[in-house]
Amino acid sequence: MRNFIFIFLFFASCNANSDQIPQSESDYPIKNIIEIDNLYDIDKEIIKNPKSPNVYLKRALYYQDKRNFTAALNDINRALSITPDVSFLQYHKAAILYELAVFNQDISLIDESKIYLDNCIKEDLEIIPPRLLRAKIFLFEKKTEEAMKLSNQVLKIDKRIAEAYLIKGMIYHYLGNSKLASSSYQTAIEVDPNYFDAYIHMGMLSENLDNHNAVSYYNSAIEIEPNNIEGYRNKGLFYHFRSEYINARKSFKKIINIDSNFEETYFNIGNTYLGQYDQINNNDFLDSAFFYFKKANDLNQYYVQAIHNIGLCYEIKKDFEMAKSYYKKAIEIDNNYNPSLNALNSLY
């Protein structure tokens, strides 16, 4: 079973308690903030009104959208220095910290994010976005009862929140209750027919049930967000694990058109050729696998799996000295990487 996907973006508004902060989402729609992609225009607003927390929030969300989390934190902190007790701003700081934690794999940042979320929830009994994010963190921590409680709280506040149904589906999915997981994901789709994440999770659930409905769900997700790599990636992996290597490669190559620097794509394409080589000992497949593993390693010099697979290609070619050198290189980066440790030991 593949791991759940816990990376989510949250831009819905929280209620505020300051004259300088909008009192509702309609007063200051976050969607409109994100649609502003001209940093120059935002900077001009800051020059005009340097004491407004809203303009720093706007730039923080711009940087968050661009995955420049350090700059986003600097600006959300500026906004909080002007109005420190506003739950609206505390939530957005928590969301930025959470995304940075996932990006850097730094659990301490999640702990910091939880402090701000708990403050938001304590201050406002009907605030929704912090409850959703806190529920996801509870699920990440395997605290399913707490995650379910917050999801149900959200639905008591508003039954039309598709994300709450998605989280409930993720909880049931994690607990192994496929029937209730499917029901929750389907409800999320009924509430929001264009909910990308719900189709992705329905696809993953279908994979676990070992049926080909997964492809149709991934195709629906791709239709909704054609420039999001996740749909293509999941569909490609689905085909790959069923040894449908040509279909897998077609899906992975779509990602290159979206992000030509996403090293995992080249690694996955290399694996499709390696899979075909296992089926038919055609050296052209092996050469193609080597090319794509090398491309992945060129993009990321610390890509242990790609380095190991380059060594594997050399080993298949019976160039054992080169194979050893790449296995050793992988171990230098990760001295607990068992595939390279085992492969190296087998060559002595």
Please indicate, yes or no, if residue 3 is contained in any of the structural domains.
Answer: yes
Q: How confident is the model at residue 37 (pLDDT cuts 50, 70, 90)?
A: low
The residue type at 253: K
Give residue-wise pLDDT tens across range 154-178: 999 999 999 999 999 999 999 999 9
CB count in 10 Å sphere of residue 75: 24
Does residue 25 have a pLDDT over 80? Answer: no
Domain assignment of residue 153, yes or no: no
| Phi, psi of 161, deg, nearest 5 | -90, 100
What mean pLDDT do residues 285-290 have?
98
Residues 6+ apart with CB under 8 A from 336: none
Q: Any idea what the Cα angle at residue 183 is, between residues 181 and 187, rounded to 5°? A: 115
* 209: confidence class by pLDDT, cuts 50, 70, 90: confident
Expressed as residue numbers, the domain containing 112 is: 1-127
Task: Judge whether 346 and 331 are in contact, CB under 8 Å.
Answer: no
CB burial of 109-122 (b: ≥16 within 10 Å; e: otherwise) equals bbebbbebbebbbe
**Nearest alpha carbon to residue 77 among 121, 63, 129:** 63
Query: According to the model, what pLDDT value does residue 3 have?
Result: 37
C-alpha span between 90 and 69 (Å, rounded): 15
The rounded mean pLDDT for the chain is 89
Q: In whole angstroms, what is the distance from residue 169 CA to residue 181 CA? A: 4
Q: Would residue 33 count as lying in a domain? A: yes
Q: What is the CATH number of the domain that holds 83?
A: 1.25.40.10
Query: DSSP letters of 203-226?
Result: HHHHHHTT-THHHHHHHHHHHH-T
What is the phi/psi pair of residue 226, to 5°?
Answer: -65, -15
Residue 303 belongs to some domain of the structure: no
Q: Is residue 341 a contact partner of residue 331, using CB atoms and an 8 Å limit?
A: yes
- Model confidence, pTM: 0.81
Whether residue 255 is contained in a domain is answered as no
Output Rg (C-alpha) for the chain, integer angstroms: 23
The pLDDT assigned to 337 comes to 96
Tell me whether residue 301 is in a domain. Answer: no
Cβ–Cβ under 8 Å, residues 97 and 112: yes
When pLDDT is averaged across residues 90-109 and rounded to a whole number, the result is 93
In a domain, 133, yes or no: no
How many domains does the chain divide into?
1
| pLDDT per position as a tens digit, 46-64 | 999 999 999 999 999 999 9
Structure tokens at 13: 């508004």
Question: Is 68 contained in some domain?
Answer: yes
